[in-house]
Amino acid sequence: MILVSGIRLALSGSEREAAEKAFKILRISPAKALRWDLARLSVDARHGQPKLVYTIAVTLKNPGEELRYKGKPGIRVEQDQPLVLTLGTAPLANRPVVCGFGPAGMFAALLLARKGYRPLVLERGAPMDQRVADVERFSATGQLDPDSNIQFGEGGAGTFSDGKLTTRIGDSRCSFVTKTFLEHGAPAEIAIRQKPHLGTDLLRGVITSIREEILSLGGEILFHTRLTGLETKNGQLTALETTGGTIPCQVCILAVGHSARDVFDMVQKAGLELVCKPFSVGFRAEHLQSAIDKSLYHEAAGHPALPQGEYQLSQQLENGRCVYTFCMCPGGQVVASASEEGGVVTNGMSYHARSGKNANAAVVVSVDGRDFDQDPLKAIAFQRLLEKTAFAAGGGGYKAPASHMAAFLEGRAGLEVAQVEPTYDRGITPADLGSLLPEELSGSLRQGLMAFERKIRGYTDPHAILTGLETRTSSPVRLVRNESGQAPGLQGLYPCGEGAGYAGGIMSAAVDGLRMAQQVIQQYAPF
């Protein structure tokens, strides 16, 4: 397959026009092609009038002729790279266990199931339908289930987000993930959009469909089952202690997610190496989606060929910290995302249509091990302290402290709802957001916001609303693993995904789940 990229057309352009240009660039007749497809579509709005930028995939009738285009500017020759797996021969006394059914655990279990290993999956939270009901009850009443919420349950934390599939990892396994989502009902557009997303509504159905495939292949999933301890003998994992009893286990892929603080504490007490990793804290910024569209697309805003405006901003500061936006949700809402009683956590989500009035994004500042004496438990304690501080500032009931942009930049409390109506589902309380963070972090966020104004005009609009606090951008810790994917000193335990510190987002977590499943498959025979 030949990929011809960088084909720029006006907003009135079409796929067929792009294909015609691709054949001209290749200097061949369309008759020589077996087929052509739209491989990627993006928008370039950097120079005034936005343009559509196409990548066209051309498959020639004679595949051997494709190689002569290799290395030419704007052209890439790509060959399908299926997952090639050699099954191991070491016997398993028990079926492999996957702890956690977020993207990492789900794809690890799926690959194991497809290869005949009949995995057992442990998930502390609820299956999808019950989990949705638990989240909706918390949103409406403030009644929190610590094990079934936006952080925990079938599908992981990504289930209640934008369903973003963007990633920078460049791993060939990404195509396996995309193909699997398509097989299970995801819309075809995720294969071509520059910034693909499913939306919370569509993602739920895809996840339950993958679950059914795992079960049909002999896998088993135990919901409401939380990992509480590890049993070992001579450096080998022998069993898992859970809320449902002890489970004999020789191989466990540990994919518990970035909010499983009890598990982090447990593995450190068990003598496994846990280290600090960078993460970030801040708040959610809400603007009118129409204002973002206008800032990005100018007079073309509202054109039917354009997607809702999306942005990603960052600013490196002289103090060594970075302020950046994260998990931008066009047409979305800010949601209450606590998983511990007495703490306020914000996150953003949107449905597939992204039809909400507001855009929101996390605006966060980086912290790392130097802020916590390289003690991972101090990093977790810092997150927890911020969440409790936000809870108190919100006045209880999981209301969130909030401020107008202007008030935060001026270092004061201030909130009069006007053009931008806050969407945080538990309600907001006016507060001085800067006082809820260490002074250096608040000052860094102010500097970052002013820099963002220079990149997107109107970003610091006084009517924009900031809601806090955002603390769960990624795991604050990493559970060390060796080249075989196992925790040093404990054979059979495979730390995996975002919670273990090896991923950030749905796609990279799913890829890491595949990677750890491959490690197991290459060593052990099917169970």
Q: Work out the pLDDT band at 47, boundaries 50, 70, 90.
A: confident
| Residues near 320 by beta carbon (within 8 Å), at least 6 away in sequence | none
Instruction: Determine which of 101-105, 197-201, 303-307 has the lowest per-residue pLDDT on average.
Output: 197-201
Rounded-to-integer distance, Cα 307 and Cα 297, Å? 10
Instruction: Determine the average pLDDT of the residues in 183-194.
Output: 90
The verdict on whether omega for the bond into residue 83 sits within 30 degrees of 0, i.e. cis, is no
- Expressed in angstroms, the distance from the first to the final Cα of the chain is 38
Rounded-to-integer distance, Cα 38 and Cα 55, Å? 6
Q: How far is CA 334 from CA 331, 347, 349, in A?
A: 10, 6, 7
Per-residue pLDDT, 21: 97
pLDDT of 150 higher than 90: yes
pLDDT of 107 higher than 80: yes
Q: What is the mean pLDDT of the chain?
A: 95
Residue 399 corresponds to which amino acid? Answer: K
Q: Work out the pLDDT band at 109, boundaries 50, 70, 90.
A: very high
Structure confidence by residue, pLDDT tens digits, 457-467? 999 999 999 99
Rounded-to-integer distance, Cα 498 and Cα 399, Å? 27
List the CATH code of the domain at 97-275+477-523. Answer: 3.50.50.60
Query: Cβ distance 352 to 154 under 8 Å?
Result: no
Per-residue pLDDT, 361: 97
Instruction: Determine the average pLDDT of the residues in 219-240.
Output: 98
Structure tokens at 367: 């912290």
Domain 2-77 classified CATH 3.40.50.300? no
Please state, for a pLDDT cut of 90, what percent of the chain lies above it: 90
Per-residue pLDDT, 8: 96
Q: Work out the pLDDT band at 380, boundaries 50, 70, 90.
A: very high
Structure confidence by residue, pLDDT tens digits, 316-343? 999 999 999 999 999 999 999 999 999 9
**Residue 318 DSSP one-character state:** T
State how far Cα 402 lies from the chain centre.
25
Q: Where are the domains of the chain?
A: 2-77, 97-275+477-523, 279-470
Count the helix, strand and coil residues of the chain and give each as a percent rounded to the nearest 5. 35, 25, 45
Per-residue pLDDT, 170: 78
Q: Pairing state of beta strands 51-60 and 33-44?
A: antiparallel
Rounded-to-integer distance, Cα 197 and Cα 441, Å? 31
pLDDT of 81 higher than 80: no
